[in-house]
Amino acid sequence: MTLDVRVADERDAEVLHEFAALTFPLACPPHLPASAVDAFIATHLSTESFLEHCANPAHTVLLAENEGEPVGYALVKLGRPEDPDVLEAVPDGPWCELSKLYVHPDSHGAGVARELLDAVLVIARRESAATVWLGVNQQNHRANAFYAKHGLEPVGSRRFVVGDRVEEDFVRARRA
């Protein structure tokens, strides 16, 4: 695999939406109804959402490609967490949120997630973030194992709404 991680821009919004629609359901717990997952994708992972992220100076969308084909993406958000549960769990700012990190299922285990996380940490350090944090569903064992391996430890929990369902996430964090 020849991996290239680059900053996405508005020209990538449709590809990011399609990729997110493929990968987000893989991270959801099996009890979530498809209608809730579809509603989340339509609201938060639409082409328009990615256009907004690409235009927001406090957000960075990273796109990992193998020979020009998307194999993963990450969304980084700088700034104070709005969720009081997150702020209680991660009080030390400045903050860098790893909002999303998804890899194509055909590329699981190929180092794509590690490369994306490394790129996120570069951004966090460049922006002088004290803490990198993320929320991950408590039932997503694969993701939780990956983050634990890379020093993102559970520091609290938060509620995460998917469609009309409320899920419990671990809040994981590490020093940038």
> Range with the lowest mean pLDDT among 8-12, 47-51, 161-165?
161-165
- pLDDT confidence of residue 40: 95
Domain 3-175 has CATH 3.40.630.30: yes
Question: Where residue 163 falls among pLDDT bands split at 50, 70, 90?
Answer: confident
- CA dist list (Å): 76 to 39, 40, 82, 122, 142: 22, 19, 15, 11, 20
- pLDDT confidence of residue 164: 85
Say what percent of the chain tops pLDDT 70. Answer: 100
pLDDT per position as a tens digit, 40-77: 999 999 999 999 999 999 999 999 999 999 999 999 99
- CA dist list (Å): 116 to 17, 43, 73, 77, 149: 18, 24, 7, 14, 14
- For the chain, what are the domain ranges? 3-175
Residue 1 has pLDDT above 90, yes or no: no
SS3 category, 26 = helix
Sheet holding 59-66, edge to edge: 3-7, 59-66, 69-78, 95-103, 131-137, 165-175, 153-162
What is the C-alpha separation between 85 and 164, in angstroms, rounded? 20
pLDDT per position as a tens digit, 126-137: 999 999 999 999
Q: What is the mean pLDDT of residues 25-44?
A: 94
